[in-house]
């Protein structure tokens, strides 16, 4: 008995959604993903999004945000600080390790900016759909007026002579 989950019925009536199939496949692989730093992905209105990362202890110079081929990469590298030999941690819960998070952005999502305040890195995103790709009505022509539906585009004078 196979335990594989087939998502084929979901894509039976879709064209060009191969990426969704890949996303589902990756999600079902069960790969462990990093939970550091904790983050939120928020939707503000219809086309505004925000990624908020809790990066306490990191400064602007420790953080890097890069957008390449629709993939947003946020990374943080903390220089190893010289620890005081007199300090013994009873609990060491403040994250000091380096991290790298990647987010695959949907088409037409633009990064508007980023700011760091009170230990939160906020990245603002905006979806701007080009006019040519916005939904529109397609007119249906009727052939009830007795026309054959065939239009002559050019007339060749040699054929009539």
Domains of the chain: 33-80+92-132 (2.60.40.790)
For strands 39-44 and 63-68, give the pairing.
unpaired
Tens of pLDDT, residue by residue over 91-124, are 877 767 889 999 988 888 899 999 999 999 999 9
What DSSP element (H or E) covers 116? strand 109-117
The span from the CA of 104 to the CA of 127, in Å, is 14
User: What percent of the chain has a predicted confidence (pLDDT) above 70?
Assistant: 62
pLDDT at 69 over 80: yes
Instruction: Supply 83's token pair.
Output: 């620890």
pLDDT category at 160 given cuts 50, 70, 90 is low
Average pLDDT for 126-131: 84
3-state secondary structure of 101: strand
**Mean pLDDT, rounded, of the chain:** 76
pLDDT at 70 over 80: yes
The span from the CA of 13 to the CA of 15, in Å, is 7
Tens of pLDDT, residue by residue over 129-149, are 888 877 888 888 887 655 555
Tell me the C-alpha to C-alpha distance, in Å, between residue 90 and each of 56, 87, 102.
19, 9, 33
3-state secondary structure of 26: helix
Place of tokens 């939970």: 35
Question: Of 41, 49, 44, 22, nearest to 126 (Cα)?
Answer: 49
pLDDT at 61 over 60: yes
3-state secondary structure of 23: helix
pLDDT at 20 over 80: no
pLDDT recorded at residue 72: 92
Place of tokens 């990469």: 73
pLDDT category at 47 given cuts 50, 70, 90 is confident
pLDDT recorded at residue 137: 87
Instruction: Supply 137's token pair.
Output: 């009505």
């Amino acid at each position: 008995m196979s335990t594989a989950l087939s998502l084929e019925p979901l894509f039976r009536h879709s064209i060009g959604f191969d990426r969704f199939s890949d996303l589902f496949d990756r999600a079902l692989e069960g790969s462990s993903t990093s939970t550091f730093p904790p983050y939120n992905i928020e939707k503000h209105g219809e086309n505004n999004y925000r990624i908020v990362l809790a990066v306490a202890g990191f400064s602007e110079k420790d953080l890097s945000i890069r957008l390449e081929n629709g993939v947003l990469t946020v990374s943080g590298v903390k220089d190893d600080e010289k620890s005081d030999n007199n300090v013994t941690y009873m609990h060491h819960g403040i994250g000091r390790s380096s991290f790298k998070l990647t987010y695959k952005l949907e088409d037409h999502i633009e990064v508007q900016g980023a700011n760091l305040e009170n230990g939160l890195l906020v990245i603002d995103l905006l979806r701007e759909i080009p006019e040519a790709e916005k939904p529109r009505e397609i007119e249906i022509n009727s052939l009830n007026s007795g026309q054959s539906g065939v239009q002559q585009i050019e007339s060749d004078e040699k054929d009539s002579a």
